Chain A
Amino acid sequence: MFEMRNMTVRFVIGEALRDASLRVAPGDRVGIVGESGSGKSMLAACLMGMVPDAATLSGTLTIDAIDMTQASETTWQTIRARRAAMIFQEPMSALNPLRRVGDTVAEPMRVHLGLSKAQAMARVMALFEEVGMPDPVARLRMFPHELSGGQRQRVLIALALACDPELLIADEPTTALDANVALKITDLLVHLSKSRNMALVFISHDLAAVARATTDVAVMYGGDIVERGPTAEVLAAPEHPYTQGLLAARPDPRAMPRDADGVRRRLPTIPGTVPPLYAMAQGCRFSGRCSSERSECAKVKPKPAGPRDVACHAVLREAT
């Protein structure tokens, strides 16, 4: 059980994560959704104890009720791989070009589990089969450039599974892949989570992939978790204006390219861009781009409220 409470990650120029709380129990499949710079990856870094040295942390992180907030790098090294593991967005750059992929996957087993080279290789074989690697024996001795994008991502998944972690964090695992390969990788992650009773934190800005992979979802904007709940409910009836905007901005293949008057239909967008950290509003960070903005929004940080922990003054006002 990983539990993060009121975690704030502060850099000199601003806060990359504000008051984030997240609970992940074995077998949970949690999606983290948000655009670039929303703090998704910082949240993942917190769970792995891999926040850059320049940051100051406040809040607590416990793993099975053991406080990890003050844990040393050495302690974290025993947690990583064995309890929490991670896969990355770009499988090519996440593999050392000069190492055979079998050696890369075997490495954490030899370090953490003390296996001999032969034992480790036998396990790598089994893992390659589990992640659906075609012709695993031949792949063991190949270099990353000899594999396809999907196969590389399968190598990284095998690497993450090497020491049977309780939590797998997938940081935009399908962004760099073809649509059909992305689908297979997504399904593989769901299958692994179920068969191993392993928690999955699935970070993505691809709403379709999140809908397919997860049971619960947290929506992030500018370092805040603005809304959370069961994936199906949040995507069907979003409450926070940002979630609504995000969902409206999805291209709909069934929509006609022109409306009744023959005017070309435009894809709805959220106006503006995510401001840089130092320019973020003190209050709700979505203020300035929000369609239902109120006078207090830019100054006062909205408190998460309701069953979905929606952090929005406008939604709160309506409810009361």
Chain B
Amino acid sequence: MRPLPVNFIIGAVLVALVVGVAALSLIWTPHDPTNLNIRGKFGDPSAVNWLGTDQLGRDIVSQLMAAARNSMTVALVAVLLGGSIGVALGLLASAIGGWVEDIVMRLADLGFAFPALLFAIMLAAVFGPSLTNAVLAIAFINIPIFARVARASANQIWTREYVLAARAAGMNKLAITRDHILPNIAAAVIVQATIEFAVAILAEAALSYLGLGAQPPASSWGRMLSEAQTLMYLAPELAIYPGLCIVIAVLGFGLLGDGLRDITDPRLVRAR
């Protein structure tokens, strides 16, 4: 067996770290992340508050952990929702072809024409700022991406001889899609989902930074960043910690996706 690609290993370690921390925050954080302690504001790192406290005296480690959980939840729900709708549309387009395929794909093109984040901001602005609307907005911008990936991969599989054999055995298009097309495009879809996960984390941070995502008192890396912005000269570490968390999470999922692609499609690996 070939050795695992380096980007896959690094990505997997970073993702394990972030997901592990997020999972841990479900049952335990060092302190209550919403517990105010005005007297202890801007506390230095100590045995009690490992990374110190913020301008309201909240424990930073606890906030980062709770934010990781929120980020993961948003990204997971958004990618699953947008991904399943997108894949379903892509499979439909591929199976039926003709004008149905044209309409679905032109709508996808339309979705691509808008800058994704700007579109999410618009949706969040129209429907009001909340975590749910942020999730829906991010899910929505994922639909055309998955529709394209699913349709392109599915079109390839439809030309395979085993699909012809299934047709010769009297299978209808729904059964063929379920039994032959979907399992064979799963690899491409999973790779795309991992990469889109990173994009969703970034989008959630951006929306929260703009005040369109997580609302107080819910923790979010993006919101921590925006709150720290005004205190940049007083306490730069308040911006650095959530910033680093975003970098680690996005980089981790991005590398993991790239690595998965290298593993599932060896033709794409360039000579290094």
Contact = CB atoms under 8 A, between A and B. Distances in A.
A94 B175 contact: no
A80 B170 contact: yes
Contacts of A94: 161-162, 164-165
Contact of A88 (B165, B171, B172): B165
Among B160, B169, B171, find the residue whose CB has the most chain A CB atoms closer than 10 A.
B169
A79 B169 CA distance: 9
B57 to A, nearest CB: 56
Contacts of B179: 96, 99, 107
Interface string A107-127: 110011000000000000000
B168 interface: yes
B25 interface: no
A163 B170 CA distance: 10
Contacts of B175: 107, 111
A312 interface: no
A76 B167 CA distance: 10
A112 to B, nearest CB: 6
Interface residues of B, number: 17
Contacts of A86: 165, 168
Given A99-B179, A107-B179, A77 B161 contact: no
Interface string B171-203: 110010001100110000000000000000000
Categorize the interface residue count of chain A: 20 to 34
A160 B166 CA distance: 10
B183 A99 contact: yes
A88 B164 contact: yes
A213 interface: no
B184 A111 contact: no
Contacts of A79: 170
Contact of A80 (B160, B162, B169, B180): B169
- Candidate in A94, A111, A156 with the most chain B CB atoms within 10 angstroms: A94
Given A50-B168, A107-B169, 9 more contacts: A85-B168, A86-B168, A88-B161, A94-B165, A97-B184, A107-B166, A107-B175, A107-B179, A162-B169
Interface of B: 160-162, 164-172, 175, 179-180, 183-184
List the 3 closest A-B pairs by CB distance, nearest first: A80-B170, A81-B170, A86-B168
